[in-house]
Amino acid sequence: MRELPPRPPRLWPLLCVALTACGGGGSASVPTPAPAPAPAPAPAPAPAPAPAPAPAPAPAPAPAPAPAPAPAPAPAPAPAPAPAPSAFTLSSSAGTVTLPAEYSCDGMGSSPALSWGPAPAGTREWALLMSTVPADGSTKYNWVLHQIPAATTALVRDALGPGLTGVGSDGPYRGYQAPCSQGLGTKSYTFTVYALSDSVASRLPAGSAVTGEQLLAALQPLLLGSASLTLSHTRDANSPGLSAACQRVRASLAGTPNAQAAVACDGQYAYVSSTGLSSRRMMDGITATNLQVPTAQNFLGSHAWRIPLQPTPAAAPTSAVDGPIGIAIDGVPLFNPCKQGGCQNGDTKVLGELDVCNGHAGRADDYHYHAAPVCLMADKPASYWDTHPVGWALDGYAILGYNDADGQVAQRDAICGGNTKPNANAPSGYAYHVTEQAPYVLSCFYGVPSPDLAGQSAKFSPMRPPPVTPFPVSGMSLSTEADGAQVLAFTSARSFTTTENGSDAYANVPGSYRIRYRALQGEALSAALATNANRGKSACWTFQFATAQGAGTQPDVTYCR
């Protein structure tokens, strides 16, 4: 109505008539003023309301609703699912931009915790590479890990178990090689997780440590997707990993060609990381056994052996009655000569419980030396060890060979089995020397020991029931089969009893036997870790006990830690 042109007030009755007519009512019944005859023709204007439809053009705004089709672009949100491919991401609680020093050789040398997902459809296995690009433009690998189970979508800090470790570009250590650039400044390190459609194992060289280049080439035909995270680390002239004390410990590893150990340093300790396994013969020649076997231990990063960088003489010597006393330069722990519980229980070497390298496996299926690591020492001329450490004691002092730097048999004092003669490759003040007589390495600690002496039990995690009492055997040897399984073979001239869970017992008659064990990987590892008994564990081994002819002597069993 407001669109009608203004009319004199006297015309409104006519408009009302017209509207009533439009409504279907008879206009004849509507009273009009007497003068109305003059405007009688006005009824003709009654159709004028037809112009009222002229406001129909007003509906022209009806086309305004045409914008209604504009919502048609609303379907555009449909592409939102497109980000699905980028949904596969990798992150770390260590950081989003920088890699803290504790994950480098200027700290503990820890491997960072990582998590990733969701898995691309069809993922059967994961692989992981950590790489950096030096100034020469080449690609250098710090971490090589493959055959990670599909069910695993995270690694804890200093992880051991999920996947097989290859060798980084700084070799020969198989494990996380913490960033330790020779030059100062900031370097970038990229972690990349690869989703694979099948196991990469058959595409990798057998019987050797896999390199980053080999893994990257082998996984290409199986690649479903990847996710990366780049973090930077900065070194300056004051970085603790560059200190002379740290360099001295790190340089000592050069005494063995295949050292399975890595060194990182903060301002107080050198952290010697390893899995505790030797790259040489193990278990050969033992004549009294408790049937334990060598398996990988987690002496990595924050769990590494701490060696004081600035050893300090103690107010009084600390006894070394039981357990670890140091670490050899090949990453194998050094123990005192006594059996568990103290020397009153016997000398392991005298009792025939050590192999030809002076080591054996303990109750946690951990390999360690109880005397001079003679197989390691055979890598160099005997005189080399007169001036170079064969290992490091937990108080920070060096463990040297049989002689002093002048080539003369070392004079061991009556205190702890060392002397104060200077040595260019050892801290000043004191050094221990190995000997052929008990206690073989040291009898006590001249310096203040690191916390690892008091906390040694936390470093070992037994996974099998208490071992049998050592009994006489002959012909013991440890070998590795084509599939990676290890076999401990021996002959017993007497009957012996074994146990699987500590509450059962299996009688064995005199004869030759084999203990075959293998670290689980891939889907087999996932299945083992999925059981309630193994929650929170990360590494498993399957064991088979049989006669030399292959007849099983007890059920196969899987143990995890």
Domain limits of the chain? Answer: 1-65, 88-236, 244-459, 471-560
pLDDT in the model for residue 340: 73
> From the centroid of its chain, how far is CA 532?
22
- Are the CB atoms for 195 and 224 separated by under 8 Å? yes
What is the band of 397 on the pLDDT scale with cuts at 50, 70, 90?
Answer: very high
Which is higher by pLDDT, 19 or 449?
A: 449
| Greatest CA separation for the chain | 150
Q: Which two tokens stand for residue 201?
A: 């194992």
What is the band of 522 on the pLDDT scale with cuts at 50, 70, 90?
Answer: confident
For residue 8, is pLDDT > 60?
no
The 10s digit of each residue's pLDDT in 147-188 is: 999 999 999 999 998 899 999 999 899 999 999 998 899 999
What is the band of 344 on the pLDDT scale with cuts at 50, 70, 90?
Answer: low
The reported pTM is: 0.83
Q: To 10 degrees, the CA torsion angle through 178, 184, 186, 188?
A: -40
For residue 77, is pLDDT > 70?
no
Question: What is the rounded CA–CA span in Å between residue 79 and residue 94?
Answer: 34
Topology of domain 88-236, CATH: Phosphatidylethanolamine-binding Protein (3.90.280)
CA distances from 340 to 220, 226, 457 (A): 50, 48, 12
The 10s digit of each residue's pLDDT in 195-216 is: 999 999 999 998 778 999 999 9
The 10s digit of each residue's pLDDT in 351-391 is: 999 999 999 999 999 999 999 999 999 999 999 999 999 99
What is the band of 99 on the pLDDT scale with cuts at 50, 70, 90?
Answer: very high
Give the chain's end-to-end CA distance (angstroms, integer): 88
Q: What share of the chain is helix, strand, coil (3-state, %, to 5)?
A: 15, 30, 55
Q: Give the closest residue to 302 by CA, choosing from 129, 92, 112.
A: 112
